[in-house]
Amino acid sequence: MKNILVAATPSAFKTMRSALENRFSLTHCFNLDAARAALDDAPVDLILCCTHFDESRMFDLLRYVKMQPALHRIPFMCAKIVEDEVSATYLQGVEIAARALGADSFIDFSHWKRIQGEQLAFDELTRTIHKLLG
């Protein structure tokens, strides 16, 4: 079973666990130090990082991963999981920055869930992950 490191707030992880726990092995990290330690401890097939991870340190984790020779090839997915009020322009800026720093994907899961419903959003997330894993 593929192992996904989920770098997320507790509420975002709860949502991701509901979506992915029967399909993938999940390693949850609440903060940057824990994520770095987890990446050193066990093989990870994909990193899923919430935009609100560790007080918005998603870009810090992304930079760390992309600068490490042993880690830089691991697919990195940035995700807006929690429903909150941000403008489309702001969200587009976050996506552009994430891709410029080397993210392989940026998704707005909260939008998928709002538009398609929870189960279809879970299915879309799973398809996106499978695409990234090859």
Return the domain boundaries, the chain. 19-133
How confident is the model over 80-119, as pLDDT tens digits? 998 877 888 989 999 999 999 999 999 999 999 999 999 9
- b/e burial code for range 18-45 (CB count within 10 A of at least 16 → b): ebbeeebebbbbeebeebbebbeeeebb
pTM (predicted TM-score): 0.95
| CATH fold for domain 19-133 | Rossmann fold (3.40.50)
